[in-house]
Structures are given as structure tokens and as C-alpha cells.
Amino acid sequence: MLNWMECVRSRNTPNAPVKVGYNHSIANIMTTAALRTGKYVTFDEENQEVLAGGKIFHYE
């Protein structure tokens, strides 16, 4: 995060592309969904949604 903020200020290239950060965020949300629901979790790429037990995962 620090590297990204420094790159925003300096306009340098960050250590990793935005897509890498996005993919890591999806993995973290999927892990949280699995821990909270105890269900099998998948990612629907077409709709950009995390599914827990076949249903859209929502934080509560």
C-alpha cells in the first residue's frame, strides 16, 4: 500500500500492476466468506461476485 501511495504522488511505476492487487483482494474476500459461512466459496468472473454455497456473499 505504501509503495502504491508513493507512486501516486511521484507518478512512478508501482511494484505490481493493479490487477495483482485486485486478485489478492478477491482471494481475501473468498477466505473471509468461507470462514464466516463454512461453505464452499467460488468467484463468478462474469458477474464479479463471490459465491458462498452458490449464493452471493454479503458482509453482515
For residues 25-55, one letter each, b for 16 or more C-beta atoms within 10 angstroms of the residue's C-beta and e for the rest, the string is: eeeebbeebbeeeeeebebeeeeeebbbeee
pLDDT at 54: 96
* Cα–Cα distance measured from residue 57 to residue 44, given in angstroms and rounded to the nearest whole number: 11
Query: Quick check: 24 and 30 in contact, CB under 8 A?
Result: no
Q: Is the dihedral of CA 3, 20, 51, 53 positive or negative?
A: negative
pTM, two decimals, is 0.78
pLDDT in tens, the chain (60 residues): 899 899 999 999 999 998 998 999 999 999 999 999 999 999 999 999 999 999 999 987
pLDDT at 29: 97
Domains of the chain by residue range = 2-56
pLDDT at 60: 79
